[in-house]
Amino acid sequence: MSDDKITQLIEKAQITMTKSILKLMAVALAAVAFEAQSLACTNVIVTRGATRDGSVLVSYAADSHTLFGELYYKPARDWKAGSMLPVYEWDTHRYLGEIEQVPHTYQTVGNMNEFQVIITETTWGGRPELEDKKGGIDYGSLIYIALQRAKTAREAIDVIVDLANTYGYASEGETFSIADKNEAWIMELVGKGMNIKNGVNTQKGIVWVAMRIPDGAICAHANQARIGKFPLNDPDNCLYAPDVISFARRKGYFDGLDSEFSFKKAYCPVDFGTVRGCDARVWAAYNILTDGWFSFYDENGNAVTRDAYNYLDYVLGNDLNGDLPLFVYPRKKAGVKEIADVMRDHFEGTPMDMTQDIGAGGNALPYRWRPMEFEFDGKTYVNERAIATQQTGFWMVGQARNYVPDVVGGILWFGTDDAATSYLTPIYTSTTKVPECFKEGNGDMLHYSATSSFWINNRISNACYKMYNVMAPHVRAQIDAFEWDQTERRTHSVDSMAVVMYNQVVVKLQKKLSSKGDVMISRTPFAKVVKYVTDYSVNTAQNQFEVWKGLEEELLVKFMDGNVKPQDKDGRFIHSEYSEGMPAKIEQPGYTELWKETVAQEHGELIRVPEQQ
């Protein structure tokens, strides 16, 4: 039998497949899907009306046990006609093929470009039969190529759709955060599977939907599809593939009215793993930013406010019929620092708080090593997956601002490794240099580099893991001091000076353009502005890297062997009156009360000290 006939038979079987069989398939895949979340990411999107200064903010943690933290940089460039662009899968570096290059590409710095467009992602997998193993472009390449070709969020959506439909989509289901200095969108897409004829997939491409986040609202996603029902006749706020509903019907995923269609229910049905390991992180972000009260508009346009804990049965995976609102309105406006701190959450103060059981050890460690499930006595248990996680490669908060020129407006707040014990430093997106500590090729997952931010942050985070409740607060205090200073003071001064320099150039250009005769204008009239913000970005990152190297040495000295050596207000160690090389005193914080109670119950008969007679 030919490949074509086999494919036709498979397609026919899929069409006639009943809903009950589809549900059984989802259950069978649940364990695999849940384990995949250990490699997953988290995004928070904040619109202009929800920030204190009118910025658009997008946070992103690129979480993977194999991803090295470095800052990708591509300068703007012109290309000759007929140029081709090789495409390599971001996750694996596998060569996928070539695509046509455009005449001009824009500068990109990490997940932002020179026009302040921001694109980030989280992967949700979805239905495995929709993967295209012959696809020519993966989700990571879609991000970085779209950034090189789009000046606005809407243009980026068009680029992504065109590339995926032209060359075939090589990845699983994906959610993108796509923003610019004026608006923010959430876009979800998945492939169409394979129908091979004469060696070509005639079914290549994607089904997708994109929704504009209402101004004043926030959105979050974390490796589970988030868009349910969507408006079919509101192109200003919702865009979608023409066949997004008909394709689902053809595949047997949906058979209701068009108005009842839910993208996520059709293409990424929930299971315990995708709720507990994914939507629980969305709930955590919303819980923090709304002070525990979710305010949103329901499907009928009614304003609703509900206690965050009303959704607890759902996010714990006890009631999979529940749901979370796609957008919520925060109780107060936020800035870069508050969003960065959301990325440091470990479910503290909630029922999922990992410091509150013996799995935290004797020093309240808010992490669990992978895998995400373990078995004991014939039963399966979950290791929680919080927003902050040990396997982060890099993380960021992208800041886009429409009230300053593009050459000044975009700031990529960038960091590496675990967000809870690492800092974000500002990188202006017009920069022409990358700090050495973030430079591509400065180390990798198998080769240590003493000049790499990723490696020094790993040294600090892994040091803290052994004595977390004592050491991590010491690190966090230094993070907070640096980030508050940068977000609320120093970058404001840089902005002001850069805008003054920019305006001076504009005045000079206007005078030249109004004068008689031909005028020779530099291709880079704002070169001094660019150099100014470049120098600030590079110097700040490198200086803070040196501070962090010193901090790693300080942690070793201060917390060696479970002891704590006191310091004065200036950070100097307090020595004894007899020797500058001997501490004045040693503190021994010991273990948490929970640890003491558990050990006493489990081992008390052997280690209990006899009462004095």
pLDDT score, position 510: 86
How much is the pLDDT for 16? 40
| Contact status, residue 548 vs residue 435, Cβ threshold 8 Å | no
User: Greater confidence, 40 or 140?
Assistant: 140
| Residue 403 confidence (pLDDT) above 50 | yes
Question: Which residue, among 181, 176, 172, has the nearest Cα to 133 in the 3D structure?
Answer: 172
By DSSP bridging, strand 293-297 and strand 238-240 are unpaired
CB atoms within 10 A of CB 165: 15
Q: How far apart are CA 209 and CA 570, in angstroms?
A: 54
Alpha-carbon distance values, 594 to 357, 365, 464, 532 (Å):
7, 12, 19, 53
Give the per-residue pLDDT at 517. Answer: 52
Q: Hey, which residues does 413 pair with through a beta bridge?
A: 397, 426
> Is the pLDDT at 420 greater than 70, yes or no?
yes
- How large is the angle between the packed helices 527-559 and 468-485, nearest 10 degrees? 160
572 pLDDT band (50/70/90 cuts)?
Answer: very high
Give the relative orientation of helices 527-559 and 453-465 as an angle to the nearest 10 degrees.
30
Confidence category of residue 512, pLDDT binned at 50, 70, 90:
confident
Q: What is the per-residue pLDDT for 31?
A: 42
Supply the pLDDT for residue 291: 97
28 has pLDDT over 90: no
Mean pLDDT in residue range 394-414 = 98
d(CA 287, CA 274): 19
- pLDDT digits over 533-561, tens only? 999 999 999 999 999 999 999 999 999 99
What pLDDT sits at residue 516?
Answer: 54
pLDDT at 524 over 80: no
Distances (CA, A) of 163 to 159, 174, 245, 409, 575: 6, 15, 21, 28, 64
pLDDT tens profile 84-119: 999 999 999 999 999 999 999 999 999 999 999 999
The H-or-E segment that residue 552 falls in is helix 527-559
pLDDT in tens, 584-612: 999 999 999 999 999 999 999 999 999 98
Domain definitions of the chain by residue range: 3-382, 404-515+522-562
Beta-carbon contacts of 389 under 8 Å, excluding residues fewer than 6 positions away, are: 61, 63, 367, 418
Give the CA count within 13 Å in the CB-facing half-sphere of 158. 7
Asked whether residue 419 carries a pLDDT value surpassing 50, the answer given is yes
Reported as a single tens digit per residue, the pLDDT across 264-287 is: 999 999 999 999 999 999 999 999
**Residue 417's pLDDT band (boundaries 50, 70, 90)?**
very high
